[in-house]
Amino acid sequence: MQKIIECVPNFSEGRNLDVIRQITEAIESVAGIALLNVDPGASTNRTVVTFAGHPNAAVEAAFLGIQKAAELIDMRKQKGAHPRMGATDVCPFIPVSDVSWEEAIACANQLGKRVGDELKIPVYLYERAAKDPARSNLAVIRAGEYEGFFEKMKEAAWAPDFGPVRFSEKSGATVIGAREFLVAYNVNLNTKAVRRANSVAFDVRENGRVKTEDGTPSGKPVLDAKGEPVRVPGALKHVKAIGWYVEEYGMAQVSMNLTNLDETPLHVAFDACDEAASKRGLRVTGSEVVGMLPKKCLVEAGKYFLRKQKWSEGAAEEELIATAVRSMGLNELKPFEPKEKIIEWKMEAAAKKSLVQMNLRQFCNETLSESPAPGGGSVAALMGSLGVSLAGMVANLSAGKRGWDDKVGYFSGWAVQAQQLKDELLFLVDEDTAAFNKVMDAFALPKDSVEEKAARSAAIQTANKYAAEIPLRVMETAAKSYQILRTMADEGNPASISDVGVGLLATRACIEGAAMNVRINLGSLKDEKVKSVFREKLQRFSAESDSEFRLIDQVVQRKLD
């Protein structure tokens, strides 16, 4: 699946729109980067920029943004309400999709080294990327701000992680790191009373409330041995919350910051507020997400609410997200537009239209045209996605079959696996065409000089290798469908056995078609070692496919007869 990391640099300029424009243009100049939001503040004299893309592209875009900010912003003249220590004050990386913490930390280190070495700006690492735990907190690093750092940097404890041990008068210093994704999330209550909203907030937030002798908010605090107030923790970890009244909406809300979505997902926060509100005679009427969020937040929420309904979770992402929106009332106050609020979908909308975004007629027309792409590789991947979709359909029908209530979870699990494989194969539909285009781009490189010929030859070999790798991935991915098809043939709704059979044929056609594309691309490879490895995988995947197909087909044919 596509690797996406978010980057949120904060630049110490919020008033000069031309400067802000030049910085964001530098960021957007990197291929594969989607600029998601630009939020300038005049009083703070600070602009928060949010963009996302592949980790390599994100590092390059962040560097160009920091470079342009260092060129245009003079910290000797900068004043604003927000704490700051440099032209680029802070630049965190946040994993969004298929990016590990190790990769995010590596991004912070790569960027920090480049900024220190090439721009001569002192760099401090914070949060997950911090080398010194004492410097993991941004506020601790920033203490003293720009004006105080000239003396602060003279202390051995405050030598930067990268760059010169000398404070830059013009650009200041920069803090770079890797942190959790933060979601600002508000839950709506059927009351205008801030005090009652605060009671719900204290019930759920990690910090809870101060314990009192009589148990009332106005009672005398209970103190510990050190004379500090004893706190009763709330229900949720990694959650900060307060109650407030929003005049625009005419209601009170529980306003939360969720700082660890793995520990406390969106739907868990919603249900905790709902439970706490009900105990106090209140009702949760809906909720709102401020800003953007990763797709997985709503996908997991959709699965959670379907699970509560004792229904199959094996729905498409679009339906899971629609379920989450309805269940949490995310469109109560204003329309919730998933394509604008979900990072991955916002990026897809900004990118060139893909094959999988076409309707069936458009896809067939494009395939039938004189253009060589999409070709057999993309069509093979599409057949694989259709094959596993039929397997997932049978799983969902079996989960919903009357009298099979005790099997809902079992068949739902297979349907979820089918959805995952379908999405992987759809991704490969586009990736196969992208791989072919890379081959064409390599052949189009100049070849006038000896150096150009060598570079062109190397690029062609790299592109051909990738063009063979993609259909191999198609074969390997589609082969996983056989387990689902076999289970559905043996145990699924017997009325759908013909659907299993068609899915089986589509899966086999996908694997055999992808094998042809591997073979034709291997013919252009010169690296015999790579060719040998690829051929071994090709033969193994093909043989295993033939064996699986025969076994499952026997079951299908017997049940059809």
Rg of the chain over all Cα atoms, to the nearest angstrom: 28
The catalytically annotated residue of 161, 271, 430, 432 is 432
Tell me how far apart the alpha carbons of residues 419 and 484 are, in angstroms, rounded to a whole number.
11
Inter-axis angle of helices 528-560 and 497-522, to 10 degrees?
160
Q: What's the rounded Cα separation, in Å, for the pair 228 and 210?
A: 10
Angstrom distances, CA of residue 29 to CA of 60, 71, 72, 90, 111? 10, 17, 17, 21, 17
Do residues 326 and 270 touch, judged by C-beta distance below 8 A?
Answer: no
Q: Tell me whether residue 98 is one of the annotated catalytic residues.
A: no
Give me the catalytic one of 74, 82, 423, 553. Answer: 82
- Rounded CA-CA distance 384/367 in Å is 17
C-alpha–C-alpha distance, residues 401 and 496, integer Å: 11
CB neighbourhood size of 461 (10 A) = 16
d(CA 47, CA 253): 27
Q: What residues pair up with 246 in beta bridges, in sequence order?
A: 251
Structure tokens of 239? 């959650």
Is the CB of residue 479 less than 8 Å from the CB of residue 380? no
- Our answer to whether residue 238 is catalytic in this structure is no
Angle at 54 between CA 51 and CA 55, to 5 degrees: 90
Q: Which residue has the tokens 């910085």?
A: 23
Strand 123-127 versus strand 174-178 pairing type: parallel
Kindly list the catalytic residues.
82, 432
